[in-house]
A and B are shown apart, each in its own frame.
Chain A
């Protein structure tokens, strides 16, 4: 079945450093979504990518969807302590029903 792998599992950075998390699917995706979960909270939607090769930006966050629609990345420029949390990617299948999540990358930022 569809599998979504995400690396790294943990990332510790100094405030001001950049951060990137990578997501790979075993199958071609119809779309990919990214979520952020703060400790003790629930996942909160960040963005959805649909088109092959798509790049979207939200302030310091840059999201990319691969040409083959099987991989994606989230890059944060100049991390801040407010960026702390776990970032998840989630891949949608072509039938549109299932959304399979990666294992998440836990980001900690040292001031």
Chain B
């Protein structure tokens, strides 16, 4: 099992550009989540999904879109990148009441 995979590992964007952060898991987990991590702020929940076709907002959803068309994939879209979105992004997956597994992260810089 590859676990949770994220691409790319690093990305530099200019303000206003759009991009999609990819996340995939091969553990057949129902729940998937996106977090951003900033110094001193811990991990803040952006969006999450409890199954294919179902998504919901977390603590800091503005500026981000998600979709969950399959169990395996949960991409995160930035429609118009802003410097405030410079962060490390982690995707995670879990079964309903089980261990949450994190991907290796994507380090995003918006200039």
Interface of A toward B, CB cutoff 8 Å: 1, 6, 9, 31, 33, 35, 42-45, 48, 50, 88, 90, 96-104
Contacts and interface: CB of A to CB of B under 8 A. Distances in A.
Interface residues of B, number: 26
A96 B97 contact: yes
A92 to B, nearest CB: 8
Given A98-B45, A101-B35, A103-B42, A44 B102 contact: yes
A90 to B, nearest CB: 8
Interface in B22-48: 31, 33, 35, 40-45, 48
B96 A42 contact: no
Sorted nearest first, the 7 A-B pairs with minimum C-beta distance are: A103-B42, A101-B43, A42-B102, A45-B99, A97-B50, A104-B42, A101-B42
B15 interface: no
Nearest to B33: A99
Nearest to A101: B43
Given A96-B97, A99-B100, A43 B90 contact: yes
Contacts of A103: 40-42
B75 interface: no
Given A1-B59, A97-B56, A99-B33, A43 B43 contact: yes
27 contacts: A6-B42, A33-B100, A35-B100, A42-B90, A42-B102, A42-B105, A43-B102, A45-B99, A50-B97, A88-B42, A88-B43, A90-B43, A90-B100, A96-B50, A96-B96, A96-B97, A97-B56, A98-B45, A98-B48, A98-B58, A99-B45, A99-B94, A99-B100, A100-B45, A100-B59, A101-B42, A101-B44
